[in-house]
Homo-oligomer: A and B are copies of this chain.
Amino acid sequence: MSTAQTEQLQKILVAGQWRDSDASESFQSANPALNEMLPERFPISSWSDCEAILIAACEAAEQLRALPSAKIAEFLEAFAKQIEANAERLVSIANLETALPIKPRLSDVELPRTTGQLRQAAAAARSGSWSMPTIDTKANIRSCYEPIGPVCVFGPNNFPFAFNSVSGGDFAAAIAAGNPVIAKANSSHPGVTKLLAELAQTAVEETGLPSSTVQLIYRLSHEDGERLVSDHRIGAIGYTGSRRAGLALKTAADAAGKPIYLELSSVNPVVLLPGAVRERGEELVTEFVTSVLMGTGQFCTNPGMVVMLASTETDAFIKAVAAKFAAGTPGTLLSSAVKKTLTAAIQTLSKAGAEVLTGGSAVEGKCSVANTLLRINGAKFLSNPEVFQTEAFGNASLIVVADSVSQLAEVLRSLEGNLTGCVYSAKDGSDDAHYAAVTPHLIQRVGRILNDKMPTGVAVSPAMNHGGPYPATGHPGFTAVGIPASMIRFGKLTCYDGVRQHRLPAILRDTNLSDSTWRNIDLKWTTGNV
């Protein structure tokens, strides 16, 4: 690009400075509500940007290791304050770029969730308990998780704050574990990402953290993305997004031995047992419709598949859902790309034999697809379970009607890995035998099992698992949401064997760091000293 062209581009954040990208191309984000491009042009970085960022990230990693974790906590808290002080601007840009409603979604739900996560991460960094300090006094062997090295975060399109690569869950977990973050913005909301990075950089400066603690690029070629995640200087990668792009990055990272934590597609099966449908069918219609259409269905835990037993009550349930779908105005999708993949997924399901009960096609001239309900019977599903598990990311869901409990169990056994699985059962216990027969198959295939609840709420709880077997994620042992558990992903286990007391990390010395620091000493958890 010419110098003049480069000057018109937004700057990237490298080593604490906003500077021109060595860009080969540029892109703009769109306002999906108005179906028009936004004016700012963002650079598509070339490898030289990555190289500069990697060098700076390594320096930051070494400097961060030497800092007490209280300093890192101060940064996370200062950043949360910056976000709150600039909430109006943030919400307004996010709304422009994503069409997600300002209220309640962006300002009352997602932004407070984001600052809450940052503050929980600060508390976890301060206590240090996340690092599982473990001491064997007899052998004088001690171990804990330590920072893994620079973490690359690829954020998704659907949460401009809470999963953003410069403010979301992966970011908070990676920083709280003591690592610098290299953020790759999601291309559908680079503007809000830039503003968040500005606020993060202000907080970095306020609290005296290494200047390269947070760095930002907007976009890369696929080739450079794969090169970045497999670079020897990277510690780990957090990725949330499409399966195709995620698996390409996984292949590259795996070959280089780099831990990559993926949060990919999931259809989140919901089993409605017959007693529950009989007992409270109307209630379930409302719950399901609310869950599947909320945020225009653009959640990784959106209930994309419902599994039921054939009955007149089931038919009534389906009819009522279809009516509500048809009556509701479809929301605006995050981008024309989402519209395209959603339409294609619905076509795949319908071509394979699912009946479109309502919706099924894109809304002309708008970034919307009609609320779509599909239906298929259990036998047909089982004839091609892979295709019928095609994720339709957005306001669409497939109802699978099995003709027996054993067929319903077979459907569950044919499922690939998912983030969640829900089972609704009668309150009077009349479904309990069915529950016992089918749920074990579901549990093995999901990261989180819910009773009588839709999957769309993902609480930031220490007991949460926002994860699950492949291909929902890349490893069934890790959660992307929940503090401190999500921080472990960005830790390297380090053991100190016979190391002299004054050379141990503070958290492994005989005298404990603080009375909120839990350590496992000789197989007992305690906040006491050795």
Q: Is the CB of B478 within 8 A of A493?
A: yes
**Separation of A166 and B484 alpha carbons in the complex (Å):** 35
Chain B residue contacts of A258, Cβ below 8 A: 470
Please tell me the size bucket of the interface on A. Answer: 35 or more
Q: Is the CB of A495 within 8 A of B448?
A: yes
Question: Which chain A residues (510-528) contact chain B, with CB distance < 8 Å?
Answer: 518, 520, 522-526
**Separation of A34 and B133 alpha carbons in the complex (Å):** 49
Q: Is the CB of B143 within 8 A of A495?
A: no
Chain B residue contacts of A126, Cβ below 8 A: none
Give how many copies assemble into the complex: 2
Given contacts A148-B476, A462-B134, contact A497 B257 (CB under 8 A): no
Q: Within the complex, what minimum Cβ distance (angstroms) separates A493 from chain B?
A: 5
Chain B residue contacts of A287, Cβ below 8 A: none
Q: Name which of A136, A443, A471, A523 has the most chain B CB atoms within 10 A of its CB.
A: A523
Q: Within the complex, what minimum Cβ distance (angstroms) separates A178 from chain B?
A: 12
From B143, B453, B495, give the contact of A498 (CB < 8 A). B453
A55 proximal to B (CB < 8 A): no
Chain B residue contacts of A222, Cβ below 8 A: none
Per-residue interface assignment for chain A, residues 252 to 271, with 1 indicating a CB less than 8 Å from any chain B CB and 0 otherwise: 00111111000000000000
A145 proximal to B (CB < 8 A): yes
**Separation of A459 and B129 alpha carbons in the complex (Å):** 24
Q: Is the CB of A135 within 8 A of B463?
A: yes
Q: Is the CB of B254 within 8 A of A476?
A: no
From B134, B446, B449, give the contact of A485 (CB < 8 A). B134
Q: Is the CB of B136 within 8 A of A462?
A: yes
Q: Is the CB of B450 within 8 A of A498?
A: yes
Q: Is the CB of A257 within 8 A of B494?
A: no
A169 proximal to B (CB < 8 A): no
Q: Which residue from chain B places its CB closest to the CB of A416 in the assembled complex?
A: B232
**Separation of A497 and B420 alpha carbons in the complex (Å):** 10
Q: Is the CB of A449 within 8 A of B145?
A: no
Q: Is the CB of A141 within 8 A of B461?
A: yes
Q: Is the CB of A520 within 8 A of B440?
A: no
Residues of A within 8 A of B (CB): 62, 65, 129, 134-136, 139, 141-143, 145-146, 148-149, 250-251, 254-259, 417, 435, 439-440, 443-444, 446-453, 459, 461-465, 467, 469-471, 474-479, 485, 488-489, 491-500, 503, 518, 520, 522-526
Cβ-closest 5 pairs across A and B: A257-B470, A525-B525, A465-B495, A448-B495, A254-B254
